[in-house]
């Protein structure tokens, strides 16, 4: 990957904990390391095929001055998100916001914060076994595609499968999505849970029927053992109804925990289920 660097763009803005900082304003210095592919523009000497660093600077200045916050952390998060959303060729970025002569009552040259943010591939499994299942799944996909910070890449074919361990329940319609997101993992989880809530899901019975089920299977190469968000999804390797649509859209996606591809996990599961 190539990088475009912008060092110490000076912006006068109104950020800080103290009222004087918000009223009088002060100097900030913004530095960016943008992860881009420069060959498309470089081979043809065509700016339209690359990223205009002048436009990036002007957008950074405009947004940074238009949104007053208390914390450097907040300013950095907001600006990084804005730049990723505004300039699609930027795959990721390193952002540093420096605050010269920060008012702490001690001699200080500069206080600064540096964060790294990027677009991440995310794999989502979908399922529904109540009401108009197809309409529910299509509505959820449309809502997800329209959400800020989401780029829908691939949609798997839907398959019908029996409810696991519950013969009297209606069968499920299952599918999977491959998308890119600049949302953080918890934000992505809240978005998916919000879609479930909108579809009328009630979180009372763990294995009960549900109008919509949205499970995050992978988030980039993140491994998480947080009880609120296990990644990769801890049970996807044993679920054919997840793996079958998943292998259609991402057969070579590699499990960051085991190193196996989705196709290899599928082959292992089908071999185990053979009589």
List residues bridging with 229 in a β-sheet.
Answer: 226
Is 99 noted as a catalytic residue in this protein?
Answer: yes
Cβ contact 245:176 at 8 Å: yes
DSSP 8-state symbol, 107: -
Q: Which of 5, 23, 33, 99 is catalytic?
A: 99
Residues making up the chain, counted from first to last? 275
Looking at the chain, list the stretches that DSSP marks H as alpha helix, in order from N- to C-terminal side: 19-24, 39-44, 53-66, 72-86, 133-145, 185-198, 240-249, 262-273
CA distances from 44 to 38, 49, 52, 89 (A): 10, 8, 15, 16
* Side-chain half-sphere CA neighbours of 80 within 13 A: 28
Beta strands in 101-244 (DSSP E): 110-118, 120-128, 150-155, 159-161, 172-181, 213-219, 224-226, 229-231
d(CA 233, CA 239): 11
d(CA 195, CA 140): 6
d(CA 172, CA 217): 18
Active site residues: 99
């Amino acid at each position: 990957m190539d990088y475009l660097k912008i060092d110490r763009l000076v912006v006068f803005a109104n950020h800080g904990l103290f009222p004087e900082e918000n009223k009088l304003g002060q100097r900030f210095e913004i530095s960016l390391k943008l992860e881009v592919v420069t060959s498309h523009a470089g081979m043809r000497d065509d700016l339209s095929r690359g990223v205009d660093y002048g436009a990036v600077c002007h957008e950074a200045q405009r947004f940074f001055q238009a949104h007053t916050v208390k914390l450097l952390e907040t300013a950095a998060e907001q600006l990084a998100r804005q730049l990723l959303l505004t300039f699609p060729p930027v795959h990721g970025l390193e952002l540093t916001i420096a605050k010269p002569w920060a008012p702490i009552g001690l001699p200080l040259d500069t206080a600064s914060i540096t964060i790294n943010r990027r677009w991440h591939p995310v794999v989502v499994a979908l399922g529904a076994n109540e009401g108009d299942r197809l309409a529910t799944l299509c509505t959820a996909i449309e809502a997800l595609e329209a959400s800020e910070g989401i780029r829908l890449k691939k949609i798997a074919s839907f398959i019908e499968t029996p409810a696991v361990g519950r013969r009297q329940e209606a069968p499920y319609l299952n599918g999977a999505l491959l998308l890119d997101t600049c949302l953080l993992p918890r934000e992505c989880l809240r978005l998916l849970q919000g879609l479930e809530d909108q579809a009328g899901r009630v979180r009372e019975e763990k294995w009960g029927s549900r109008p919509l089920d949205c499970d995050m299977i992978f988030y980039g190469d993140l491994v998480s053992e947080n009880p609120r968000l296990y990644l990769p999804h801890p049970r996807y390797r044993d679920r054919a109804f997840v793996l079958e649509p998943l292998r259609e859209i991402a057969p070579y996606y590699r499990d960051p925990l085991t190193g196996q591809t989705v196709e290899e996990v599928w082959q292992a599961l089908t071999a185990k289920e053979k009589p």
